[in-house]
Structures are given as structure tokens and as C-alpha cells.
A and B are shown apart, each in its own frame.
Chain A
Amino acid sequence: MFKKRKNPSSDKSFPSFESFHEGSHGKARPGGFRSAPSTKRLHKEWSKAGEGFAGFSLDPDTYDRAHSSRKRPRVGSQEQPGTSSQERNEDTFEDIPIEWSESEDEQEADSLSDIIPLSPVQSTSREEDNIISSSDQSDAGLPAQPRISQLASSTHQSQSESTPPISELSESTSPSVNASPRNSTSMARHTIPKVQGDSRSKQFSHLSRIPQSCAKVQSSVIQKLLLQKPKVTAEDVGISDYESASSDEADGGKAASPLEAATGSSVSISTPDPSPANPSAANKGTPKTGSDWLKKVQWQISSPKEGDNEEEPRGPLDSTRKGKKFVRGGLAEQLQRLQSRERASITFWNHKVANSTFDPSDQKTCLMVKVLSSCVECSVHITKCKTLSGHTLLGDAQSPYVSVLFNKQTAEQLGLEPGNTVAIYPPWQKLSIPGQNYPFLLCTYYCQTVTEGTIEGQENLEVEQREIRGPAPSLVTNLSPQKVQSVHSMLTSTRKSLRPSNLFPGTSSEGEASTAVDEDSAAGKNRLYPVRTGQDRQPPVRSFLEAIEGLAGRASAGLHVVATVQRVWCQSHQATLGQQALLLRAARSQTSAVEPTSEHRWHLLLEDGHGVFCELQVPNVLLQEEGWAACLHGGEGKEWVFSGLRVTHRANRGRMPTLFSLIDSVWSDSTARESWASQQDSEQSENTYVGIPTCLPPSFCYLVSARSGESRVEPSTDNLTGSLRDKSEKLEDSSVSPVYKSPQVVTLADSEETAADSARISLYVKLRFWRSQPSEDTSSTRETGHVLFVWDGSTTDSSQPYSKITVRQSCVIPEQVLDLMKQPGANLFLKDLLWERGRVLTADVCSVLHQACPEGVVTEWWQQVTPPDVWNSLTAAGTPGLQVITSSTILHSLVQVQGQVLSVDEDTAFSWPECDTCGNNKLIEQESSLQCPSCDKTVTEPLTRMSLEVYVDCPSLEKSGIVKIKLLQDSIQQLLSNQQADDEGYELQAVLGQELRSVDGYLASISRDPAGERVLMVEEIPQLQDVEMTAES
């Protein structure tokens, strides 16, 4: 956090400082309070309230102590010279304690104006808190800071004597006088920095008393650490005393309940106390933004849980804290996100139950427990309960007993005490602990107290109305005796005898219990089970929007929807980096879960019953699960029930044009859809989510992700599809959803006549030749892809008998298709190619390369997507010949080359032996025989492979250049056919002047030789068997 405190950010706060100062100048200062310093404070507490922290954290003393010495001179130096306010400021710095706080840019103006006038009540309570805390501290005799705490308490106490009259006065007078109590507080505070300074120097003197050798040693260790952690700069080390100061302060504040400190009264969860809004601010006409108000309300509802920990200095520091960035993709970030989700859903829940009583019909969906006993440890209420209903939610639990942990907030809200009956709604988490024959429930945030008599057939439980303080003695036997002894010597309280570290193996001698635990853990047993909402048992919804809204109150539950899989494609991770960086960032926490080897992720385009689309990402690991494998491999066009999906992002057209081009291709307002939607509407007339009007294409798309262990998929068994099927005559395939729009299969000739500027088309083609090539898109130099030359017999233009298709790297070509592509003339099905006017057909991320109608696997889906005429024309298509190379031949096209060999590139003329079994070309020569290391055998008849590039004079070029052609084995052998190889190889001179028969090639590049002549570099491509020599004739 310290590296955040850069000059610019500090500077930003100064103008507001000054402006505030000027603003306050006009106010009457109460007599007798020389400085009226409270008006000078930049108090952030109420505006910070939204962050969920309060109380001691607001106490700026800490900050003042730590920073006043450093900040003040800088404040002074930042002032505009010559202004009167500056003079006043400097004046002020001499004798007025200014509580400096780092205000954040966006909050400066608001917070300054509306925070200054504290209402009297608040001021007073603040005073009291300080008193409590400081006296507590001194009572406790905290060894670390005896001098400070005593001093502080004495100052506060003396202050408290003088405070009441002031606050009385302030209550009855104008707002400007209201500030006076705080004035006195800050005067008290003013003395603290000096004390703190003493304390610090004491600390330093301690350090200086360390034997010199040790000090040296320590510094060397620290240096080592610094080397390991380069982020720690000298500046950070220099500030280190600051934290000690602040944590001291945190201790002081801890004694006071953060809640009380914050609001000055008890906090009511359901009816937030509006006092922080500070009516006096409104009286003064200072603007008050709605967001500030909202923050305060939210904070009141959600903060108590967090208020328990004062380790992190809050308040003034909180502004730095807020700016603090956690490590991107780190666990802290993950937790922070999780916290905000949970906070929101708890807020929703509290709102929901605030004014409602338990609905007996909920008994099936919640767990009802009777609290038998309860003890509080570390603000957590650990209860022992007997379950009354909802046993099924606990799974296979045998015991009727369960231990439920309620956090402080939930417990207070429930008024938790033994004898209560509590309804606990999912989600929660169930933890089983070895040696305990009942489960533990954690994260039980969604609870409601059940009043007597609302439950039918409630068991009459004999509950001993008593609280058990601390664990029963028998539990201590879980520890090994020596550990208990060692712990006991350190701590007097038995409660503290069970530290996680004690039980945690590897830290010290292991107890019996922990060993047993570890074995279980090693056996791969998960002991923590999330219990989701009862959603799974409820029928899934048919609308994404409805499902997403249903999530609002239940953060940890996933989407539970029925949707049609429109498309399935696979995407490689590296390729997503550029285009979908945003998406990746959102999903970073999940990608870290995927092992590095799986660089592919599956994507599904889902459509619900209302024409709303979702892109579902499925990590490769889920392919191991049967349901997902079925869905990914044969699920297209069918309806599936998805559960446990997480919404990660919302995309629009501008952000993800590729995805939307695909959505546009499958989106339609066909009659099937309309009947579908209207049926939905008539059945669920109360459903407000009728969906997007079917005449407009969707403008947004939710991105959702499936997670291992959470998300499931199963075929939809809904008979709604069946009833609709009767109406729809087109649908012969029983399993295909009426919403599904099969790929638009066209011929190559048709594709040229596509009316739209861009479209997604699918083709059945034969592959003539393919090779990898750098992307033509120069902006992304990293991306390489493939280029395919295909034909399907529909093109009549003999000048371009083959169509070129660019395959981007992001388009993942399946292994089996790659194998297939090794043979020229393979039949391929190219699904959802991107056609754009004037550009080459492209296979991008959303495109899929299939084997055309895999033999023996002719499924209904294939029948549906394969128009008979397209298929027939493909199978009947002959192999068109190529154009002879001319001076106007386009780069990266297929050509035919014929001519006289002019010369040979001797650098490229060589041959090598190859294993006749495995094709390994790295044979080892041993005792005049060749060994193949991969086959581990002697190669008796090695194949001779040859490489040769020759310069050919093609008559068709009409002397505008020469062709350098890289020949394949067959052509080389043909050229060399009329001479015998001797031991040294072939005589290259014999090749010169020979006529090269007509070969097909790929024009890879055009360059100029040193003499300035154009050289067309051609790579020979394999011949097809049934080549019709159309071009020649």
C-alpha cells in the first residue's frame, strides 16, 4: 500500500484541503476554542462508512502520529505562495492538530463538505469510545505501550470531564458550534504524537541496544529478503514504524465496539439509523449525494462482521486501503469479489426477512434446527443443534445432531440462544471433522427464527437451557498429551489450547487427531461440501434473465436453466488473449485452476426459450465428466438442463463482434420460435420476462462459465418439446430443439452471392492443399494460421478453380481432422466460416472444422445439416486443374509450373536416409549399418529422401521472371531418372536443361535476385490422382 502513496496522489488531496480551509474560514469560531480545529479536519469517517469500517478505525490519531511530521511540511510547501489562506495554514500548522487523511479523488468534494459538521451525539459518542478504549487499554496493562495508553487515557479522561458541558452547549447551538467537542478531542490528540515519538525513539533505542553483531546479522537477513522481494523498497522500510504506530492505535480502538463507535447507538439491521447522514450538513445546504447515503446504509447492514478485526488500520488509512490493489488473479482478489457478492446477497436476504415471519411451507427447502447449546468463541457462535426438518439437505448424515456456526451478525439478528428454533436456508457449507460424528455447518447467513407453533408436528425437545462455556473436557483428549502440556504452559485458557496450528500437521509434533485427519485428506476425501439452494430440486427456468435475477439473493448458487445448444466450438487459450482479454481477466481465477497442459476451452452458444443468448465456457477438465462429454460432443441442437453455472461477464456487439456474428447467424424469429415463445407466455402469464422482442436481434450476451465440481449438465427431459413437436412438421428429429438453427450450408458458388456484408456460412468441401502461413492481418503478428485450398465442384470459374480459406490460429483443428488433412482430396465440413464481402473466407474462433459426414456415424444431426444436393455435387466433383503460372498470378495461390530447368540451388540439394518403418530421419550410422533409435532396429533398406530446388524458365511467364520451385520427392526422382547414383550422389549438372513436367505448386513468395530479376518461389504440392488436365488442354 505504500507504493501507492506517491506524490501525485498526495498532491491531489491538497487542493481539497485548501479549499476546505477556505470554506471554513468564514464560519464563526466559538469563543474559547482558539483553533476550532475540528472544522479543519478532513474527516472521512462517514463517507468511508460505505467501506464497512468504523470506530477506532476512524480515529485519525494514528495517522496523525505517523504522518503529521512528514506530511505537514509538504502541505505547507504545496500551498500557493502569497495567498492569505496559505498564511493561515502555516499558522495553523504551528499549533493546531490537523488530522490529515488521504482523501480519494472522487470523494474529495462531497466528503469534505458533508463530513465536517458532526452531530453532537456522534461527537460525544466518539469521545466516549476513545475514553473506553484508552482506559481499557491501560487497564489491560498492555505491555507494549504502557506509556502511550496511560497518557492517552489521562488526556482523554481529563477531556471527558470537560466534554459534557460542551456537548450540551453544542446540542443547543448552531452547527458550527457542534464541532467543538471534537475540537477538544483533537486537542487531546495533539499531545499524542509527541508521546508516540518518544515511544518510537524508545523502540529505536531498543534496536540500538541489540548487540552489534546481531544487528548486522539481522540487516543482512533483511537484505536477503529484500532481494527476494524486490517490491519492498527502501521507502517501505523507512515507513515501517508507521505500522507499529497504527496497530497500537488499533489496539486502543478495539475495546470499543466498532458498531457503537460508528453510529453512537445500537445498530438496527432492518432500519438503518440515518444519523450518519448528518442533518446539519443538509441544513448548511451542502450537497449530499445519493451514493453516499447508500453507502452508509449498506455499511450499517453489512459491516459488523468485519468490524471484529482491527488489525488493518481503517478510517483515514482506509482510503489508502481502498486504493490498494491486490495481486491480480490472487486469492485476496478472489475473496474480495466473493465478499462483495455475499454482502450483497446477505443484504437482500435481510431485507427480505426483516418484516416477514417464517413461512411453514418453506420447511421442505430449509433446514430447521433446535438450538441445544451455544458458546461464543472469537465472535463466532458455535451451537449444537438437533435437526427438526430438512434432513435431506444434510445428505447422508446419520446423526440428528449438527453443529452450526453462526457469525456474530447472524446470531445477533436471530437473538440466538438455546431453545430457539432456527430455519437455515441454503446455501451453507457442511464440514465433517474426523472424530466428530455430526456435521458442522458454516456460512449459515440465511436464517430466520421460527416462533413456536408455526411448525406442524414439532418435536417436543427437552432442552437444557444452559450455555456451555468452552469445550467439554473430553475433547481435549484429541490432542496428544505432550501437546496439551506444552500448550497449557503457554496459555491459561483451555479455549486457547486448540489452535489450528496445533492440529495442523507439519508445524510441530502431530497429535493423533491430526494424523488421522491427514490420512483422510491424503486419501483425497473432501470434507467440505457446499450445500446449494434447493434450486436443483426446483424445475429449471427457461429464461436466462429470470435465472440471473434469481441469483440475486443467492450469491453462491449457480444458474439453473434449460437452454438449447446452438453451437459448440473449441478455442485455444493463447488466441483468446488479444480479443478477449477482458473476459480472461474476469475468468482468471478459474483459468488458474485449469492445468497448464489444457490450452483449449470449450465454448457453447446457448439460447433460451426467449431468444436470449449465453456463451458458456467449459474448461477442458470437465470433458472427463460423462454429462459434459455428451453435451460437448453430440449436444448441438438439443436442449440441456444446466446447473451451477456462473455468470462472469456481459458482452455486447462492440466488445465481441466475433461472437455476435455467430449469434446473428443462429438468431431468427422463425415461426417455430414464435410459437415456442407464445406457448411459454400463455403457460406462464405471470412471467414478466417475455424476452427480447423477436424482431430485434439480441444486443447483449451473457458469458457464463462452468466450473469443475459445481456445474452439471443433463439432457432435458421436458415434454414441452414433445408437445410443440406435434405442431412443428419440419422437426422430424425428435431430439433436435425447435429453437435450434442448423448451420447454413451453401456451396462455394453460392457463397459468392451472399447478399449480406458478412455472414456465417458452412461448406462441404474437398481439400486440395493446405499449409500454415503467417496471418495476413499484420496487426497481429503473433498469430499464425493455416490456409486451405478447397473446391466443391460448384465453381465454374476455371481461372480460380480452388477457393482459399484462411484458418486463424484461434480456430482449433481437431486431431482427427488434422490427420485427415494429410491426404489431399479429403472431404471436410467447414462450419460457421466467417464470410465478409471482399475478403477471404475465414475460419475464426467460432468456426469448426469437421470431417465431412464421418463414415458409419451418420447421425440425425448430420442428415439434417447436409443438404442432399450439396453433398451430391461434392461427391461428384472432379478435380479441376490449375492455371499455369503467369506474371499476373497472385501471391499465395496455386499454380501449375512447367518449363526448362535453368539451374540448381546447390545449397538445397541433398539427400538423407530415412527409416522405412517409422519415417525417422535421424538414423545412426553404426558399423556400416543404420540404426533407427525410435524403432530400435537396424534399417536394412533405408528410404532415400531428397531435397532439391531448381530454377525453371517457364514459357508462360514470358521472360518476366523465373520460377524457383521446391520439388517433391517424385518430381526429383523423375528429373534424376536417367542417371544412376554413385557413391557421391547424383551429378546435378545432369539435371540442367531438362524439361520439368507439369507440376502443381503453391506460390509462396515473390522476390528479386541480385541481378534484379523476379524470382517466384513455388512449392510443389502433391498431385491428385484424378486430375483433369483442363488447364493444359
Chain B
Amino acid sequence: MPLTDTDIDIMACVPLGTVAAQLLLEVKHVHSSNGCLSDDLLSALQDVFGTSLLSALDIVDRKGVTHVSSPSGRHLYLVVGSSGRLYTCLPSGLYCPCTYFTYAALMKGEALVCKHVLAVQLSQAMEACQELNVSDEELVGLLMNKDTATAQ
């Protein structure tokens, strides 16, 4: 018996990204009203994001996410990795030059995001980004660096 549209609708699984996005909204909401995150929320995040979460929260705790913007309106995020290395994450949030992202998120599909992208998302949600204004030239420099990191 062929499946009807209703059946497909019932059977279909919602992508994990939708759940993750809703949880991040939850983070934003809970943090803006309570100033902290509940254990329950952390537990849920952990379920969806896996072990990236712990590292990402550590980055957030250390205020390791910097929002860099230039006069032209371009902006990006710099994330301090665990070694002090800087990762450039684009505002679209879809990419991180770290190898984990390339490998686990893009190639293997084992993880939604890497800790850096997650840290950016969490910092945005909790308004924990440091702000840094740079000139356009400086932003170019950062993007150039990103390119080298990607190409290597």
C-alpha cells in the first residue's frame, strides 16, 4: 500500500538541526530571564550536541568568543580554541576552519557543529560575546588568515 501524504508527515523525522535551533532559542530565553542555564537545559543540549558542549561552554565561560565588526558592516566571530589558536567563524554560522568541523560535521556527519561554532551560538544566545571593532583592512587580514587556515 503506498504511503499517503499524511503517513509521510507522521513518519517523517524532524532534522536534528530543528531541535538544536529550538534549544538554542531556549538558551536565549532562559538566560535572559534567569541569568543562568538550568541543569535541565544543559542536559538537553548535551543530548543534542554531544561532547562539543562541554568545550563550548568552557569557551563561553572564558569569554572566548569575540564578535569582530568593521565600519563597512562586515562582521565575523573569532573563537579562541583550547590552545589559544584563533578560529574565524563566519556570521552565517555554517562553517569553522577547524579540522573537527571539516571531518566530523561535514564529511562524516557525526556531529552537528564543532565546539567553536557551538560556542559562537551559545555566546550569541547568552549575549556573552566580546565586541571588537576593527578597520576594514584588519578584517581583511582576519579573513585572509581564515583562507590560509582553510587551504592548508
Contacts and interface: CB of A to CB of B under 8 A. Distances in A.
Nearest to B141: A217
A203 B149 CA distance: 8
Given A243-B84, A433-B22, A440-B14, 4 more contacts: A327-B61, A498-B16, A517-B22, A556-B43
A530 B29 CA distance: 16
A508 B15 CA distance: 20
A183 to B, nearest CB: 29
A495 interface: yes
A379 interface: yes
Given A384-B13, A442-B44, A377 B109 contact: yes
A504 B93 contact: yes
20 contacts: A143-B102, A214-B144, A225-B86, A240-B83, A243-B83, A326-B58, A327-B61, A433-B22, A434-B22, A487-B94, A495-B15, A496-B106, A499-B94, A503-B22, A504-B25, A507-B124, A528-B23, A528-B26, A593-B34, A708-B34
A140 interface: yes
A593 B35 contact: yes
A500 B20 contact: yes
Consensus secondary structure, chain B interface: helix
Interface in A362-420: 372-375, 377-380, 382-384, 401, 403, 405, 407
A475 B92 CA distance: 21
A862 interface: no
Contact of B24 (A216, A334, A339, A500): A500
Nearest to A228: B130
Contact of B99 (A144, A222, A384, A440): A144
A858 interface: no
A472 B9 CA distance: 7
Interface string B73-110: 00000101111111000011111001110111011111
Contacts of A1031: none
Given A373-B12, A384-B11, A431-B22, A309 B111 contact: yes
Interface string A240-258: 1011100110110010000
Given A214-B144, A378-B50, A308 B111 contact: yes
A495 B141 CA distance: 33
Interface in A326-373: 326-327, 330-336, 338-339, 342, 372-373
Given A499-B93, A500-B121, A327 B62 contact: yes
A377 B85 CA distance: 30
B104 A442 contact: no
A338 B51 contact: no
A364 to B, nearest CB: 23
A231 interface: yes
A552 to B, nearest CB: 17
Interface in A464-499: 464, 468, 470-472, 474-475, 478, 486-487, 490-491, 493, 495-496, 498-499
A482 B50 CA distance: 30
The 3 lowest CB-CB distance pairs between A and B, nearest first, are: A501-B93, A243-B83, A330-B61
B84 A232 contact: yes
Contacts of B9: 472, 474
Interface in A807-829: none
Contacts of A144: 99, 102, 152
Contacts of A145: 99
A776 to B, nearest CB: 38
Contact of A239 (B28, B83, B108, B115): B83
A518 interface: yes
Interface string A631-663: 000000000000000000000000000000000
A809 to B, nearest CB: 26
Contacts of B16: 377-378, 380, 382, 405, 498
A514 interface: yes
Contacts of B20: 500
Contacts of B115: 311-312
A504 B19 contact: no
Interface string A535-570: 000000000000000000000100000000000000
Nearest to B145: A218
Contact of B44 (A433, A474, A528): A528
Interface residues of A, number: 126
A468 B132 contact: no
Interface of B: 3, 7-26, 28-30, 33-44, 46-48, 50-55, 57-58, 60-64, 66, 68, 78, 80-86, 91-95, 98-100, 102-104, 106-115, 117, 120-121, 124-125, 130, 132, 134-135, 137-138, 140-142, 144-145, 148, 151-152
A207 interface: yes
B134 A221 contact: yes
Contact of B17 (A1, A490, A502): A502
A338 B100 contact: no
B12 A471 contact: yes
Contacts of A373: 11-13
B3 A502 contact: no
B113 A308 contact: no
Interface in A201-224: 202-203, 206-207, 210-211, 213-218, 220-222, 224
B46 A335 contact: yes
B50 A433 contact: no
B12 A508 contact: no
B22 to A, nearest CB: 5
Interface stretch (A18-26, A155-163, A519-527, A600-608): A519-527
Contact of A518 (B25, B33, B98, B142): B25
B17 A503 contact: yes
A1009 interface: no
A63 to B, nearest CB: 13
A498 B15 contact: yes
B58 to A, nearest CB: 4
A436 B9 CA distance: 10
A142 interface: yes
Interface string A421-448: 0000000010101101000101100000
A338 B15 contact: no
A250 to B, nearest CB: 6
Contacts of A592: 35-36
Given A222-B86, A243-B83, A206 B151 contact: yes
A332 B61 CA distance: 7
Contacts of B60: 330-332
A64 interface: no
A334 B42 contact: yes
A693 interface: no
Question: A470, A486, A517 — which one has the most chain B CB atoms within 10 A of its CB?
Answer: A517
A202 B23 CA distance: 41
A379 B130 CA distance: 33
Most chain B C-beta atoms within 10 Å of own C-beta, residue among A144, A372, A474, A500: A500
Given A377-B109, A592-B36, A247 B100 contact: yes
Given A440-B14, A471-B12, A472-B9, A379 B113 contact: no
Contacts of B91: 507-508
A254 B108 contact: yes
B63 to A, nearest CB: 7
Contacts of A251: 99-100, 102-103
Given A310-B104, A327-B61, A372-B11, A433 B84 contact: no
Contacts of B53: 335
A709 interface: yes
B61 A326 contact: yes
B144 A218 contact: yes
A372 B19 contact: no
A401 B11 CA distance: 9
Find the residue from B22, B91, B100, B140 having the highest chain A CB count within 10 A: B22
Nearest to A474: B9
Contact of A530 (B13, B40, B58, B141): B40
A401 B10 contact: yes
Contacts of A333: 61
A221 B83 contact: no
Contacts of B68: 221
